[in-house]
Structure 1
Amino acid sequence: MSASTTSAVGRRIAIAAATIGIVYGYDIGNVSGALLFITEEMRLSPALQGSVTTVLVAGNIIGALIAGKLATAIGRKPTMLVVVVGYAVFAAWSALVSDILWLDISRFFLGIAIGLSLVVAPIFLAESAPAAIRGALVVGYQVATVTGILLAYLVDWSLASSGNWRLMLGLSAIPSVLVIFLLVRLPDTARWYVLKGRHEEARATLRMVDPTADADRELAEISAEIASREGGRISEMFRKPYATATMFVLTLGFLVQITGINAITYYSPTIFKQMGFQGNATVIGLPAIVQAAALVATIGSLFVVDRFGRRPILLGGIASMLVSSLVMILVFATGSLDGGGSWWGFAAILVFTAGFNFGFGSLVWVYASESFPARLRTLGASLMLTTDLIANLIVAQFFLPLMDGLGGATTFVIFLVLAAVSFAFVLRFAPETKGRTLESIRTYWENGARWPAEELPRRD
């Protein structure tokens, strides 16, 4: 098989995953602007406004819980096909509804499709990529997600004068349909083929994805790793040697969301209104600038994740969130919400979002895909994303009541404390996995969350 053919296969894998990431980002970002006009047209109370966001996250949790078993049973690629069909159908449905009940139902099912993609798309990428660039490709999925959020804000801003929330919600159906034709031409991952005993297909896939690698050697390593133990049961994840890995990824997943990023993604127009900004175009346009900065930060993480390692990037991103939360506390506490004070708040929101996407947002996908052996990988990622989404649900449900009842300063004190806890947790528990194969990383957890002496990186 020629190098050009192999390059084409690699490009199709990357493009398919990126498109799914863009659609996912668009579908979680478009409600921010659309909600302003849905509320006006349907005369929604604050509780019903929150339901439009929280039902999506509730669907995410269901999708994440079933994603591991589904992806193992039918394959990574077929599960991704289920995802994009769900994206197309339920995005279009949400644009056609006439009342809040059917809007919530359509968004719940859209949320299930999103939950599936949160688990399966990064796994598909991680299992297809060589170790040397695996981190960059998985972070690339986060780049695509942030691009989708940015596109959602730009579309919402362009439609702000007309208030056409139906078009805001329904546009993502178009790329969802298009990516179906790309996915059907892709192979599944070599590791899934080995899990199912389809070794020749696994060998062919390895050669297609990376012609420079020794396919027979990689196939033997994957087969030995999968066959070394009984596989794939949730009870195994909570026993030695993987109980520590499980608790690490579950805690990390929870901290990613509980620190507040989706409060900004979902409700930034409301936050900017409280800072004194006026006009729908302005309060929707400013979040677009924030997401553009987040995209730059995510791309920056993409270029350095395999050079400097996971830990420095993650700690640097969380530190930016700490500083930004402190600025937001000062902005709200001093009451300087007009003139210069509001622009300080805008800058803090921008840095908070960029810091999150540079660190947490990019690296959560990497750790989700690296922390378990093949037989537990999708199950582990599914559990981690479940804790992530539970925290997301908490933030989506309670952020607006906290802002209304306790005020902005107290709300961001809570986020400051949670970011500090996150920094301490990562500093103490996050392993550095830069440049290591997926199979070798399991030795870290099997050795009591310590690298064996022979696995320690050499110092130049």
Structure 2
Amino acid sequence: MSATPTTPRTSAVGRKIALAAAAIGVIYGYDIGNIAGALLFIDEEMNLSTLALSSITTVLVAGNIVGALIAGKIATAIGRQKTMVLVAIGYAVFAAASGMVSDVVSLDIVRFFLGVTIGLSLVVAPVFVAESAPAAIRGALVVGYQVATVTGILIGYLVDWSLADSGNWRLMLALSAIPSVLVLLLLLRLPDTARWYLMKGRREEARATLALTDPTVDVDRELAEIDADIAAERGGAIREMFRKPYSTATAFVLGLGFLVQITGINAVTYYSPSIFEDMGFTGYGALLGLPSVVQLAALVATIGALFAVDRLGRRPILLGGISAMVASSVLMMIVFASGSLAEGGSMWGFVGILVFTAAFNFGFGSMVWVYASESFPARLRAQGASLMLTADLVANMIVAQFFLPLMDGIGGSATFGIFTALSAVALVFVFRLAPETKGRPLESIRHYWENGAKWTGEEFHGRG
């Protein structure tokens, strides 16, 4: 690999990085979205109890937690690129295996390992993109990963819809193996990141990689900046996060990560067809088509947030999105409490689900991870993101396991009453604790948390 590549070759590598990032995001989204339609046909074939049906999604999230916990060590030991190769292999193997099982126990085992793969992907894919993409497009690619994920969820619903007449749930689950193999071939041709090469003392490879991915960069200056950043990250221990002055930031990050999921977004992602069926909708055209429209609205909302964040700031977007979640949850309570659900379905219920999902993606889904990266000094930043992700996945597992039993046991009105209360808690939590960080340097944000969650002196410009 030459240290002075030609511009066309560099441009090609940049495009490959962008394509690989988008493909991994889409595959991840597809693998968490396709189960919604597949569950309808799995239940018909296997006649499962509510708890057994819930376990098919719960084991996936349990695998997410395991994968997320080991991802950092694997990515540091063997490299970001090799870990991404493992992710692509895992997606291909376990998606294909999902289409070959004949009983729920085998399906649970396969989906657990698919979940481990997803957990690896959740941690490593954004790191790989952020560390390897040219500076000019880095921000767009990192944020675009969320757009790719929502796009994948939408594609999952559309594929389920197109295969509904055949009821072929195995094909629904297995199809993502094809793009996984294609992205694997692409990843094999990419270098690792300059940062990882420097961490391993492989300076010449780091130099060559920087020159390859961005011909405009001052390689020596960039290497010096990466060296300084790596040095700044040394010495951080997770126990430090639970002591002053960082304990307030830690509590905020953990609370925010938990509230992202416990407010119910993945109840909709995993179980939309069941929710629409409980609201009186019938036929696969409605049970799978309407959730597809919901995910299209979510995609539009996510893209809208990208354009709005630099104009409106983080707090207004978060507060606006959560407020709409509260309102739509109240609407769902009313829909189920009305007792008038009949064949043909409640269009107000459809509106409630659509607004809830779009509002989540506009607010929580687009903004929340920004705070994890901004709330701690460099040496604690990775641990902060890991803590938030762990809290997020634990809440996700609770929702995945207990949503359907709650719907069966206490009914839709009470279940969405719980989500209303939790969304209201999230609204108060964000209003009271989330600072407006738009346009502020990381050092200023760090001082905010070190000062007991208060802006000091000349730093104060209001909280949005």
Q: TM-score, normalised by structure 1?
A: 0.91
Change (3 A) 1:121 1:279: same
Change (3 A) 1:340 1:103: closer
Which residue is 1:254 aligned to?
258
More moved, 305-314 vs 136-145 = 305-314
> Partners of 1:280 and 1:239 in 2: how far apart?
53
Which residue is 2:269 aligned to?
265
Which residue is 1:161 aligned to?
165
Would you say 1:347 and 2:345 are equivalent positions? no
Change (3 A) 1:404 1:372: same
1:301 deviates by: 1.7
Identical aligned residues as a percent: 74
> Are 2:232 and 2:379, in contact at CA under 8 Å, matched by a contact in 1?
no
CA RMSD of aligned residues (A): 2.8
> Are 2:64 and 2:120, in contact at CA under 8 Å, matched by a contact in 1?
yes
More moved, 14-23 vs 370-379 = 370-379
Residue number among 15, 19, 22 corresponding to 1:11 in the alignment: 15
Change (3 A) 1:427 1:219: farther
More moved, 331-340 vs 64-73 = 331-340
1:274 deviates by: 1.1
> Partners of 1:271 and 1:141 in 2: how far apart?
28
> Partners of 1:435 and 1:422 in 2: how far apart?
24
Residue number among 82, 86, 107 corresponding to 1:103 in the alignment: 107
Residue number among 108, 118, 122 corresponding to 1:118 in the alignment: 122
Which secondary structure does the structure 2 equivalent of 1:98 belong to? coil
1:353 deviates by: 0.5
Change (3 A) 1:199 1:379: farther
Would you say 1:277 and 2:281 are equivalent positions? yes
1:378 deviates by: 3.8
> Partners of 2:448 and 2:287 in 1: how far apart?
47
Which residue is 2:300 aligned to?
296
> Partners of 2:196 and 2:308 in 1: how far apart?
29
> Partners of 2:71 and 2:442 in 1: how far apart?
20
Which secondary structure does the structure 1 equivalent of 2:34 belong to? helix
Change (3 A) 1:374 1:17: farther
> Partners of 1:110 and 1:242 in 2: how far apart?
35
Which residue is 2:43 aligned to?
39
Which residue is 1:407 aligned to?
411
More moved, 443-452 vs 106-115 = 443-452
Which residue is 1:71 aligned to?
75
- In the comparison of the two structures, how many residue pairs are matched? 459
> Partners of 1:23 and 1:453 in 2: how far apart?
47
1:38 deviates by: 0.9
1:445 deviates by: 4.3
Structure 2: gaps spanning 5 or more residues: none
Residue number among 215, 222, 225 corresponding to 1:221 in the alignment: 225
More moved, 16-25 vs 192-201 = 192-201
1:18 deviates by: 1.3
**AA of the residue aligned to 2:354:** L
> Partners of 2:62 and 2:301 in 1: how far apart?
29
Which residue is 1:188 aligned to?
192
> Are 1:75 and 1:188, in contact at CA under 8 Å, matched by a contact in 2?
yes
Change (3 A) 1:432 1:41: same
More moved, 444-453 vs 285-294 = 444-453
Which residue is 2:387 aligned to?
383
Residue number among 84, 95, 99 corresponding to 2:88 in the alignment: 84
1:51 deviates by: 1.1
> Partners of 1:353 and 1:41 in 2: how far apart?
29
Q: TM-score, normalised by structure 2?
A: 0.90
> Partners of 2:221 and 2:245 in 1: how far apart?
26
Structure 1: gaps spanning 5 or more residues: none
> Are 1:310 and 1:363, in contact at CA under 8 Å, matched by a contact in 2?
yes
> Partners of 1:455 and 1:440 in 2: how far apart?
7
> Partners of 1:190 and 1:375 in 2: how far apart?
19
> Partners of 1:455 and 1:111 in 2: how far apart?
43
> Are 2:17 and 2:133, in contact at CA under 8 Å, matched by a contact in 1?
no
**AA of the residue aligned to 1:256:** V
More moved, 166-175 vs 304-313 = 304-313
1:438 deviates by: 6.1
1:212 deviates by: 4.5
> Partners of 1:13 and 1:443 in 2: how far apart?
35
Residue number among 11, 26, 31 corresponding to 1:27 in the alignment: 31
**AA of the residue aligned to 2:348:** W
1:297 deviates by: 0.9
Change (3 A) 1:334 1:37: same
1:226 deviates by: 3.0
1:337 deviates by: 2.2
1:9 deviates by: 2.8
Deviation sequence 1:383-440 (CA, Å, 0-9, x none): 2211111101111111112112222111112111111221222223234444566677
**AA of the residue aligned to 2:178:** I
Change (3 A) 1:108 1:63: same
Deviation sequence 1:101-121 (CA, Å, 0-9, x none): 111100010000011111111
> Are 2:10 and 2:212, in contact at CA under 8 Å, matched by a contact in 1?
yes
